Amino acid sequence: ATTPLLAVTQDCPANPVSPGGLLTYSGTVRNAGNITLTDVVVLNNLSGATPVFTAATLAPGVVTNFTGSYVAPTDCSTTSTLTATGRSICGVAITNTVSATCPILTTPQITVTAVCPATPVLPGGSSTYSGTVRNNGNMTLLNVVVVSDRPAANTTVFTVASLAPGASANFTGAYTVPINACSVITSFTGIGRDICTTSVTNTVSIICTVTTAPAIAVTLACPAVSASPGGPITY
């Protein structure tokens, strides 16, 4: 009575890798039966056609370690499946599979910059600013929005459905400069989330100078009726 059996395990790396990095997993293959196995092969569906382990024979109870790798996709996690096959010395074919889901190191980030108009604006005039929003993380950002506190809180100045890693987009806007102001502080906040639903935000403030023209005027008028010598003059 022979019971040919194969047991296979797969473990994720201790430290998650970034998208595009080499994810190296480890595993074991064990002859869990009571008869020697031959032509033992272990394949991983993401590591390609080359086996990650081979053995001409594997005696009952013997455990062998192996490692393999593949390029981590741009995703929140990745699942790979190991398939172990072999044949007993009596010619009975056996197989076993195991899957492991490994997390991927995602670093979503967003950066906002803004610039005042080249020429300062007069009080009550229209100030036109410009800026950029950039995805400086390693994951695509979705539903990117830039809001400003002028002319009112949470005023939307830019939106885009998605922003790839390393990509940036420009935006412009305008607001009315307050009366009786020497400068104006304007804040911009970029908001987005990656495909793993992790939210990111970044805020920047700029101080724009207002063109002021301070002046004072004085007038002086003589009295309507001329004064006599030695008398008072009321001006």
Q: Comparing C-alpha atoms, which of 15, 8, 234, 17 is closest to residue 138? A: 17
The pTM of this model reads 0.76
Check if the beta carbon of residue 73 is closer than 8 Å to that of residue 106. Answer: no
pLDDT band at residue 118, thresholds of 50, 70 and 90? very high
* Model pLDDT, residue 135: 97
* Model pLDDT, residue 81: 98
pLDDT band at residue 133, thresholds of 50, 70 and 90? very high
Q: In whole angstroms, what is the distance from residue 98 CA to residue 38 CA? A: 20
Torsion of CA 13, 14, 18, 24, to 10 degrees: -20
Q: Comparing C-alpha atoms, which of 37, 47, 29, 45 is closest to residue 84? A: 29
* Model pLDDT, residue 27: 97
Residues in the chain: 235
Q: In whole angstroms, what is the distance from residue 117 CA to residue 186 CA? A: 12
pLDDT digits (tens, 9 = 90+) for 188-212: 999 999 989 899 999 999 999 999 9
* Model pLDDT, residue 136: 95
Q: Comparing C-alpha atoms, which of 160, 184, 175 is closest to residue 112? A: 160
pLDDT digits (tens, 9 = 90+) for 19-75: 999 999 999 999 999 999 999 999 999 999 999 999 999 999 999 999 999 999 989
* Model pLDDT, residue 115: 97
For residues 6-41, one letter each, b for 16 or more C-beta atoms within 10 angstroms of the residue's C-beta and e for the rest, the string is: bebebebbeebbebeeebebbbbbbbbbebbbeebe
Strands (E) located in the chain = 6-11, 22-31, 37-44, 53-58, 63-71, 77-88, 93-103, 111-115, 126-134, 141-148, 155-163, 168-176, 183-194, 199-209
Q: In whole angstroms, what is the distance from residue 95 CA to residue 40 CA? A: 9
Q: Once rounded to an integer, what is the mean pLDDT over residues 148-160?
A: 95
Percent of the chain with pLDDT over 70: 100
* Model pLDDT, residue 197: 87
* Model pLDDT, residue 150: 93
* Model pLDDT, residue 1: 87
Q: Which one-letter amino acid corresponds to residue 83?
A: T
Q: In whole angstroms, what is the distance from residue 187 CA to residue 205 CA? A: 4
Mean pLDDT of the chain: 95
Q: Once rounded to an integer, what is the mean pLDDT over residues 204-232?
A: 93
pLDDT digits (tens, 9 = 90+) for 167-181: 999 999 999 999 989
DSSP state of 196: T
Q: In whole angstroms, what is the distance from residue 83 CA to residue 116 CA? A: 61
